[in-house]
């Protein structure tokens, strides 16, 4: 079967049983695969109202038809589940080599259900699928877990080829902001998924395979991809910025435009920006570049800090981490930020969420709502010595770390000061000020998985200006653009391509790649329709889980207070203007619920 | 004679060379395990290794370690498809050793791995 292996693995942790099913080709033609497949299975099999942290919830690792084929940035494996953070759908992207390895082992997807009585890990070595005891891995950091699992393999050369996704101690302690880690870097958007894996007592999934993926038109695929690669090499954004600095160049770009949040979105000017921007990074700690499978962008940066107590080494320090653990906490100490990131990876905590949680706690403390007695320590914006002990506390699940681990939303709720929480649907806002970047604002408000930027990364258009002059503050045409990006990203995730690849490829390239591999005759409109179908499916899941149109909003501060200072001073998010237009374009009614005819049109 | 030059420092571990190699040898299937080039990771560094013949001379650098009565050979990242490395550079279905044959990417001259390496880690040099 072209692009697919045709088999789906179903693992029941309660019974400890494993079953192999055929891939449902009808579903695949409707929703492509990956994220689409995950959402479809969740909609069919679980009750959207059930608690995310119960055995009833399922965790679906799903690859797309292009995963592992060598198409541009085709490394993605979607992980879909009901999120403990938002209570709605959540979809993370595990990059690196995991998705491809899963394909090579002969499976397109893994459905994990139930709950094991004791810690286990799932080992897939081609057809040999086993659930193995993981008591010895429990409590270990993610890097150490990977090493121990590889050591168990026995054969050094086979162990080299193994790909492992694991949770750290934070996931075991069911911290809401725990994430998944693979090959020493975080899964994108994995906040909350570590907790789901933790409740299932599943420590890791290890895969190795020796089978291949079939491609329909090998010749054409080789040639088209070669042409595409040549074009990408000439792209100045990729060759000069992304390859050298990853996404960290956004630190100064967004700060110059006034969209970099500082001190929990209370300011947009950050004095220490020179100490944390990409130039500082390149000068001091950058030591290497790394790609996921078949990615021509190499946005993962390897960094090394040598000075104790911040010494360490890690991969994947990016814009979001620097901005959330740096300026958003008022910290201008790059070494401390890097060290905090390494710790997040070791403990399996999402760095965006942890930055937001500490920022919320700090704001509450500075306003005198959170007392030193409660928190066990004092908080101050700009206090870098606090950062590392706090992250350790979350990993251990001790003291105030236990509360921080529940996420910014629950901290603000506990202390009855919701204005200190920045985000949407209970999920923390990534560092793109929605009052400045209007499209991002609308996306954060309407996103199905809460405020998660990569599900509709309009920054590519609105800040980087890849398709013409950027106009972040204008509202004209933004609703349309957000819808386009959301649908595009949904279908990219479903194909198995990293959403950041939108920096160098566009819809027509995607259509060529998918047609070469699958021998289909998709047009641009068909692809976008698949994306829209996935988006609406997620929306329906969320509506059944209890969300309404009233949840399509952001935190109070982001709607009522304009940006206080900086180049974008005074700008506000025109959500009242954008939202009705967005609903109209989506074919939803005024309450944000998909209409009958829209669903019929999409075949749902 | 043309040779493939490997610059380790430029390799980012995208494994595009493995994919290109396997795809140009078996035109309808992508399987890095059948590739004649493999990217190995040691620490944070990636090493592309091109399959070559197994010669005794290649094993000269090998060291033997005895720890707790067990014998370990310090076989490192060499390019031989030899019996010590049962899974590297061997066709997984048939166990036939694989060796780089300086393939062409369709009708364009030059090995396909070099053509698909966008980071300049693999280049073709005249020696």
* The three-state (H, E, C) secondary structure of B6-64, written as one string: ECHHHCCCCCHHHHHHHHHHCCCEECHHHCCEEEEEECCEEEEEECECCCHHHHHHCCE
Strands B122-126 and B45-50: unpaired
pLDDT at B62 over 80: no
Residues A500/A297, Cβ–Cβ less than 8 Å: yes
Asked whether residue A261 falls in the same domain as residue A311, the answer is yes
A325 within some domain = yes
pLDDT at B77 over 90: no
- Within A306-447, strands assigned E span 312-315, 423-424, 427-428
Nearest to B13 among A161, A221, A291 (CB): A291
Q: Mean pLDDT across the stretch A85-104? A: 92
pLDDT at B84 over 80: no
Higher pLDDT, B57 or A344: A344
pLDDT at B74 over 70: no
A511 within some domain = no
Chain B residues in contact with A160 by the CB 8 A cut-off are 40-41
Q: What is the pLDDT of residue B107?
A: 65
Phi, psi torsion values for A426, nearest 5 degrees: 85, -5
User: Is B106 in Cβ contact with A161 (below 8 Å)?
Assistant: no
Chain A residues in contact with B15 by the CB 8 A cut-off are 97, 293-294
pLDDT digits (tens, 9 = 90+) for A2-12: 889 999 999 99
User: Is B92 in Cβ contact with A104 (below 8 Å)?
Assistant: no
Residue B122 CA to residue B112 CA, distance in Å, equals: 10
A476 within some domain = yes
pLDDT digits (tens, 9 = 90+) for A36-71: 999 999 999 999 999 999 999 999 999 999 998 889
How sure is the predictor about A143, in pLDDT bands with cuts at 50, 70 and 90? very high
Report helix, strand or coil for A245.
helix
User: Is B28 in Cβ contact with A216 (below 8 Å)?
Assistant: yes
Report helix, strand or coil for A497.
coil
Total domains, chain A: 3
Domain with residue A203: its CATH number is 3.60.9.10
pLDDT digits (tens, 9 = 90+) for A444-488: 999 999 889 999 899 998 889 888 888 888 888 899 999 999 999
User: Is A212 in Cβ contact with B34 (below 8 Å)?
Assistant: yes
Nearest to A298 among B85, B87, B119 (CB): B119
Asked whether residue A456 falls in the same domain as residue A367, the answer is no
Q: Mean pLDDT across the stretch A486-502? A: 92
Hey, which residues 278-307 in chain A have their CB within 8 Å of chain B?
Answer: 287-296, 298, 302
Phi-psi region of A184 (alpha: psi -120 to 50; beta: other; left: phi over 0): left
Residue A382 CA to residue B40 CA, distance in Å, equals: 41
Q: Which of A397, A420, A443 delimits the end of a domain?
A: A420
Please count the residue pairs, one from chain A and one from chain B, whose beta carbons lie less than 8 angstroms apart.
Answer: 102
Q: What is the pLDDT of residue A177?
A: 93
User: Is B85 in Cβ contact with A157 (below 8 Å)?
Assistant: yes
User: Is A157 in Cβ contact with B29 (below 8 Å)?
Assistant: no
A205 Cα to chain B: minimum distance (Å)? 20
Asked whether residue A447 falls in the same domain as residue A386, the answer is no
Percent of chain A with pLDDT over 70: 100
User: Is B87 in Cβ contact with A219 (below 8 Å)?
Assistant: no
Asked whether residue A190 falls in the same domain as residue A264, the answer is no
Q: What is the pLDDT of residue B106?
A: 60
A427 within some domain = no
pLDDT at A313 over 80: yes
Q: What is the pLDDT of residue A446?
A: 93
Asked whether residue A253 falls in the same domain as residue A151, the answer is no
Measured CA to CA in angstroms, residue B115 lies from A72, A74, A157, A193, B12 at distances of 15, 18, 27, 39, 16
pLDDT at A419 over 70: yes
Q: Mean pLDDT across the stretch A179-188? A: 91
Strands A202-208 and A120-125: parallel
Q: Kindly identify which residue of chain B lies nearest to residue A302, measuring between CA atoms.
A: B44
Paired tokens of A303: 């960094």
Chain A residues in contact with B16 by the CB 8 A cut-off are 70, 294, 296
Strands A312-315 and A202-208: unpaired
Domain with residue A348: its CATH number is 1.10.569.10
A227 within some domain = no
Asked whether residue A48 falls in the same domain as residue A136, the answer is yes
Q: What residue segments make up the domains of chain B, in order of their start?
A: 2-126
Residues 6+ apart with CB under 8 A from A219: B27, B106
Paired tokens of A138: 């429990």
A220 within some domain = no
Q: What is the pLDDT of residue B93?
A: 83
Nearest to A293 among B15, B45, B115 (CB): B15
pLDDT at B56 over 70: no
How sure is the predictor about B90, in pLDDT bands with cuts at 50, 70 and 90? confident
User: Is A221 in Cβ contact with B23 (below 8 Å)?
Assistant: yes
ipTM score here?
0.89
Nearest to A340 by CA among A298, A377, A285: A285
Asked whether residue A408 falls in the same domain as residue A447, the answer is no
Domain with residue A490: its CATH number is 1.10.599.10
- Residue tagged 């105030």 (tokens): A400
Q: Mean pLDDT across the stretch B47-66? A: 75
Asked whether residue A396 falls in the same domain as residue A444, the answer is no
Paired tokens of A323: 């901005």
Q: Mean pLDDT across the stretch A95-123? A: 94
- Residue tagged 């901290």 (tokens): A411
A267 Cα to chain B: minimum distance (Å)? 37
Interface test with B, best of A151, A218, A299 (most B CBs within 10 A): A218
Q: What is the pLDDT of residue B57?
A: 60
A322–B contact, CB cutoff 8 A = no
Average the pLDDT over each of A112-126, A177-191, A308-322, B104-118 and give the range with the smallest value.
Answer: B104-118
pLDDT digits (tens, 9 = 90+) for B12-42: 999 999 998 888 888 788 999 889 999 988 8
Nearest to A215 among B14, B30, B86 (CB): B30
Report helix, strand or coil for A510.
helix
Q: Mean pLDDT across the stretch A86-92? A: 92
User: Is B29 in Cβ contact with A219 (below 8 Å)?
Assistant: no
A561 within some domain = yes
Asked whether residue A409 falls in the same domain as residue A439, the answer is no
Q: What is the domain range of residue A408?
A: 238-420
Asked whether residue A25 falls in the same domain as residue A105, the answer is yes
Q: Kindly identify which residue of chain A lies nearest to residue B22, measuring between CA atoms.
A: A212
Chain A residues in contact with B19 by the CB 8 A cut-off are 69-70, 294
User: Is B86 in Cβ contact with A155 (below 8 Å)?
Assistant: yes
pLDDT at A277 over 70: yes
Asked whether residue A415 falls in the same domain as residue A440, the answer is no
Residue A407 CA to residue A194 CA, distance in Å, equals: 13
User: Is B28 in Cβ contact with A218 (below 8 Å)?
Assistant: yes
User: Is A296 in Cβ contact with B118 (below 8 Å)?
Assistant: yes
Asked whether residue A556 falls in the same domain as residue A478, the answer is yes
Interface test with A, best of B10, B26, B30, B42 (most A CBs within 10 A): B30
> What is the DSSP track for A332-371?
--HHHHHHHHHHHHHHTB-HHHHHHHHHHHHHHHHTTSS-
């Amino acid at each position: 079967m072209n692009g697919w292996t045709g088999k789906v693995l179903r693992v029941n942790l309660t019974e400890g049983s494993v079953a192999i099913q055929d891939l449902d080709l009808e579903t695949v033609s409707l929703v492509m695969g990956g994220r689409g497949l995950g959402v479809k299975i969740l909609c069919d099999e679980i009750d959207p109202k059930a608690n995310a942290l119960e055995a009833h919830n399922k965790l679906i690792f799903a690859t797309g038809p292009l995963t592992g084929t060598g198409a541009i940035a085709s490394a993605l494996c979607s992980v879909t589940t009901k999120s403990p953070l938002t209570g709605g759908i959540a979809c993370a992207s595990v990059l690196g080599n995991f998705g491809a390895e899963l394909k090579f082992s002969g499976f397109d997807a893994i459905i994990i259900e139930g709950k094991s009585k004791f810690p286990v890990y799932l080992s897939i070595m081609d057809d040999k699928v086993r659930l193995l005891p993981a008591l010895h891995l429990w409590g270990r950091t993610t890097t150490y877990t990977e090493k121990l699992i590889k050591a168990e393999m026995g054969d050094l050369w086979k162990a080299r080829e193994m790909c492992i996704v694991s949770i750290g101690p934070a996931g075991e302690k069911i911290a809401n902001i725990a994430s998944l880690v693979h090959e020493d870097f975080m899964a994108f958007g994995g906040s909350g998924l570590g907790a789901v894996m933790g409740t299932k007592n599943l420590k890791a999934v290890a895969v190795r395979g020796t089978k291949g993926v079939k491609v329909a038109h090998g010749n054409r695929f080789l040639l088209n991809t070669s042409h595409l690669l040549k074009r990408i090499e000439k792209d100045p954004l990729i060759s000069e910025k992304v390859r050298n600095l990853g996404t960290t160049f956004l630190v100064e770009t967004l700060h110059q435009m006034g969209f970099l949040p500082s001190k929990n979105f209370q300011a947009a000017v950050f004095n220490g920006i020179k100490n944390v921007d990409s130039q500082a990074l390149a000068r001091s700690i950058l030591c290497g570049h790394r790609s996921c499978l078949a990615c021509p962008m190499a946005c993962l940066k390897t960094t090394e800090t040598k000075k104790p107590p911040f010494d360490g080494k890690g991969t994947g320090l990016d814009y979001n981490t620097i901005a959330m653990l740096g300026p958003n906490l008022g910290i201008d100490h790059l070494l401390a930020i890097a060290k905090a990131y390494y710790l997040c990876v070791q403990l399996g905590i999402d760095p965006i969420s942890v930055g937001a949680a500490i920022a919320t706690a700090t704001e509450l403390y500075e306003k005198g709502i959170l007392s030193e007695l409660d928190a066990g320590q004092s908080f101050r914006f700009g206090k870098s010595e606090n950062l590392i002990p706090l992250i350790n506390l979350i990993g251990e699940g001790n003291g105030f770390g236990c509360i921080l681990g529940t996420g910014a939303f629950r901290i603000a709720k506990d202390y009855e000061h919701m204005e200190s929480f920045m985000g949407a649907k209970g999920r923390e806002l990534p560092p793109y000020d929605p009052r400045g970047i209007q499209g991002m604002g609308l996306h954060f408000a309407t996103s199905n998985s809460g405020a998660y930027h990569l599900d509709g990364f309009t920054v590519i258009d609105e800040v980087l200006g890849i398709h013409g002059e950027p106009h972040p503050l204008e509202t004209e045409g933004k609703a349309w653009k957000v819808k386009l990006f959301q649908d595009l990203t949904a279908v990219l995730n479903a194909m198995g391509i990293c959403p950041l690849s939108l920096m160098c490829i566009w819809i027509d390239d995607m259509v060529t790649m998918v047609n070469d591999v699958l021998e289909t005759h998709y047009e641009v409109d068909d692809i976008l329709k698949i994306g829209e179908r996935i988006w609406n499916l997620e929306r329906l899941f969320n509506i059944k889980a209890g969300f309404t149109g009233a949840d399509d909003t952001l935190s109070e501060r982001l709607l009522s207070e304009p940006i206080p200072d900086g180049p974008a001073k005074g700008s506000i998010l025109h959500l009242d203007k954008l939202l009705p237009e967005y609903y109209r374009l989506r074919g939803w009614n005024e309450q944000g619920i998909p209409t009958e005819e829209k669903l019929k049109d999409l075949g749902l | 004679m043309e040779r493939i030059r490997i610059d380790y420092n430029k390799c980012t571990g995208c494994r595009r060379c493995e994919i290109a190699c396997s795809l140009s040898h078996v035109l309808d299937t992508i399987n890095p395990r059948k590739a004649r080039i493999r990217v190995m990771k040691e620490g944070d560094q990636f090493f592309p290794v091109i399959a070559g013949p197994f010669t005794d001379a290649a094993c000269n650098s090998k060291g033997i370690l005895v720890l707790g009565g067990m014998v370990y050979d310090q076989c490192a990242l060499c390019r031989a498809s030899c019996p010590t490395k049962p899974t590297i550079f061997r066709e997984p279905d048939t166990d036939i050793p694989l060796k780089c044959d300086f393939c062409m990417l369709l009708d364009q001259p030059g090995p396909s791995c070099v053509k698909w390496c966008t980071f300049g880690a693999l280049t073709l040099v005249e020696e």
